Homo-oligomer: A and B are copies of this chain.
Amino acid sequence: MKKQPVVNNNQLCLVRIQGIKDAMEVLSGKWKFHILGTLMLGENLRFMDLLREVNGIGRKMLSKELQDLEMNHLITRTVLDTKPVTVEYSITEFGKALYPGINEIANWGIAYRNAIYKKE
């Protein structure tokens, strides 16, 4: 008789796993946390602002990541009637709800680095 999965077979676990899956789908890639983190610090940033603030990102990636985030309702994109045209990006309530999570992860990262550096 074949063995069956045993741990994740109750409803709560399945929902939790699905939650992780959904979140990761929206937040996947090298830059999303960075961009959101930056938009949390300074709201209403423009494209070129973000290009400067998010260290290392190129315009193509930034453009793509912003489109993804907008499509997933984490940020909004507003074209302003200025000359030349400027575009403002800001974080939505959905995005803001990620703040505690991102913060936890950031703090973990800081603690992790300290611990590893002390050890090695």
Q: How far is the CB of A109 from chain B (nearest CB, A)?
A: 3
Contact call A16/B38, Cβ cutoff below 8 A:
no
Measured between beta carbons, the chain B residues less than 8 angstroms from A97 are 108, 111-112
* A1 in contact (CB, < 8 A): no
B-facing mask of A1-35, CB < 8 A → 1, else 0? 00111111000010111111111101110100110
Measured between beta carbons, the chain B residues less than 8 angstroms from A88 are none
Contact call A15/B110, Cβ cutoff below 8 A:
yes
Residues of A within 8 A of B (CB): 3-8, 13, 15-24, 26-28, 30, 33-34, 37-38, 41-42, 45, 48-49, 52-53, 55, 73, 94, 97-98, 100-102, 104-113, 115-116
